[in-house]
Amino acid sequence: MYDVHKIRADFPILSREVNNKPLVYLDNGASAQKPQVVIDAITQAYSMEYANVHRGLHYLSNLATDKYEAVRGTIAKFLNAASEYEIVLNSGTTEGINMVAYGWAMPRMQAGDEIVLSVMEHHANIVPWHFLRERQGVVIKWVDVDSTGALDPQAVIDAIGPKTKLVAVTQCSNVLGTMVDVKAITAGAHAVGVPVLVDGSQGSVHAPVDVQDIDCDFYAITGHKLYGPSGSGAIFCKAERMAEMRPFIGGGDMIKEVSKEAVIYNDPPMMFEAGTPGIVQTIGFGVALQYLMDLGMDNVARHEAGLRDYAAQKFAGLNWMQVQGTTSDKAAIFSFTLDGAGHAHDISTILDKKGVAVRAGHHCAGPLMEHLGVSATCRASFGLYNTEQEVDVLIDALHLAHELFA
């Protein structure tokens, strides 16, 4: 049984008050809170087990290395990758996508070559491709969403042309909550020989992921959204794609030998992991993923679907509230504005006085804001520990904001 109240007890921050009100944390789309087991693992690693990895032969270094490297297997299990050697450890999705941009795409793309993106991508899956546009003349082709915020897989496939070298698409919009059929997109792209990168920063949080079933070439995740530490993450790279990549960052640990005349690189995936990594962050990330697998991502998905449906029903009764993104199978993420209200920041400030934490701004999704015709929205993003009672608190706070602005 999924006992949300027992789960909430695992997260110490949820017991605190903000502005003399019980904290209602609805900013999970930006960064999720951490369970005690993750906090304990970080404390243990720093206080009793810390040493650098891959470099020492003493006890602490061997212990830290074993724990750090074990996370690679945990991530492979979480994503159902065929091998842990298809997992590159990094600081998060931003680094992972940049690694693909510099290590795989840049050597293969020239002026006029194309990358297909959806209009609802996060800046982490936009800016690296703009680098290639600015520096190499690469063309970005944009695919719009429909009036409900849905992305038609066929529209993405139809945007692929003879000069398309990559499709890069989110699995779940961090603004609209739209879930994207990345499996269908991948199948269509592969049919014409085009690789696919999936930004799984949000998608991996809300439902089980199977990269073998999706068959994508790259799949990026970030630790701090998956109830782990900031500065942790990974990217899945198919073995054949990894073999095509050049190193992204040079330094220690990604080499076998260095001389005045030459460098012999380490084998993948360590070829792409230069320097002292986020050792403790990665260890904590592994504990967070194991926590999620112990809960069962199917159970998490069902719980969040219930919250989504409950919140959608409540929002439907507020005729002065405009929700962006209304697909029925979306994640429990709601971006909204209020009629007659000021800037989203003003709404967020009022909600905060009631202890309700939401996001306000463009959510690192500038092209989507332009497509929607808004400069900013508030966003309530629900997680595995949120409850229907917290939805009710949000509704009361929204009524207060509406009354003040009206």
CA distance 172 to 216: 15
The CATH number that applies at residue 361 is 3.90.1150.10
Q: What local confidence, expressed as pLDDT, does residue 40 receive?
A: 98
Pair of tokens at residue 383: 């997680």
pLDDT of residue 340 exceeding 90? no
Instruction: Assess whether 156 and 49 both reside in one domain.
Output: yes
Angle formed by the axes of helices 93-100 and 127-136, nearest 10°: 30
Instruction: Assess whether 116 and 193 both reside in one domain.
Output: yes
How high does pLDDT run on average in the chain? 97
Residue 67 parent element (H or E): helix 59-79
User: Of 275, 294, 313, which marks where a domain is finished?
Assistant: 294
Q: What local confidence, expressed as pLDDT, does residue 341 receive?
A: 76
Instruction: Assess whether 305 and 276 both reside in one domain.
Output: no
The residues near 215 (Cβ < 8 Å, ≥ 6 apart) are: 183, 186, 187, 190
Q: What local confidence, expressed as pLDDT, does residue 221 receive?
A: 98
CA distance 376 to 365: 10
Q: What local confidence, expressed as pLDDT, does residue 293 receive?
A: 98
Confidence of residue 56 (pLDDT cuts 50, 70, 90): confident
CA distance 282 to 288: 10
pLDDT (tens digit per residue) in 254-281? 999 999 999 999 999 999 999 999 999 9
CA distance 76 to 213: 14
Q: Do residues 359 and 29 touch, judged by C-beta distance below 8 A? A: yes
Instruction: Assess whether 284 and 379 both reside in one domain.
Output: no
CA distance 62 to 78: 25
User: Of 294, 315, 335, which marks where a domain is finished?
Assistant: 294
For residue 364, indicate whether it is catalytic. yes
The residues near 249 (Cβ < 8 Å, ≥ 6 apart) are: 272, 274, 275
Instruction: Assess whether 109 and 186 both reside in one domain.
Output: yes
**Mean per-residue pLDDT, 9-23:** 98
Determine if the peptide bond prior to 12 is cis (ω within 30°).
no
Instruction: Assess whether 118 and 252 both reside in one domain.
Output: yes
The residues near 205 (Cβ < 8 Å, ≥ 6 apart) are: 28, 32, 172, 225, 226, 331, 383
**Mean per-residue pLDDT, 49-56:** 94
Residue with tokens 């996060």: 122
The three-class DSSP label of residue 248 is coil
pLDDT (tens digit per residue) in 237-257? 999 999 999 999 999 999 999
CA distance 117 to 140: 7
Instruction: Assess whether 264 and 384 both reside in one domain.
Output: no
Instruction: Assess whether 262 and 306 both reside in one domain.
Output: no
pLDDT of residue 92 exceeding 80? yes
Residue-range definition of the domain harbouring residue 82: 39-294
CA distance 96 to 122: 14
Residue 131 parent element (H or E): helix 127-136
DSSP state for residue 188 in the 8-state scheme? H
Q: What local confidence, expressed as pLDDT, does residue 270 receive?
A: 96
- Domains contained in the chain, number: 2
The CATH number that applies at residue 230 is 3.40.640.10
Instruction: Assess whether 113 and 203 both reside in one domain.
Output: yes
Instruction: Assess whether 118 and 182 both reside in one domain.
Output: yes
Instruction: Assess whether 339 and 194 both reside in one domain.
Output: no
pLDDT (tens digit per residue) in 182-232? 999 999 999 999 999 999 999 999 999 999 999 999 999 999 999 999 999
Looking at the chain, the whole-number percentage of residues with pLDDT higher than 70 is 100
Instruction: Assess whether 121 and 198 both reside in one domain.
Output: yes
Which residue is catalytic, options 172, 237, 364, 378?
A: 364
Which has the closest alpha carbon to 118: 178, 28, 161?
Answer: 178
User: Of 294, 312, 346, which marks where a domain is finished?
Assistant: 294
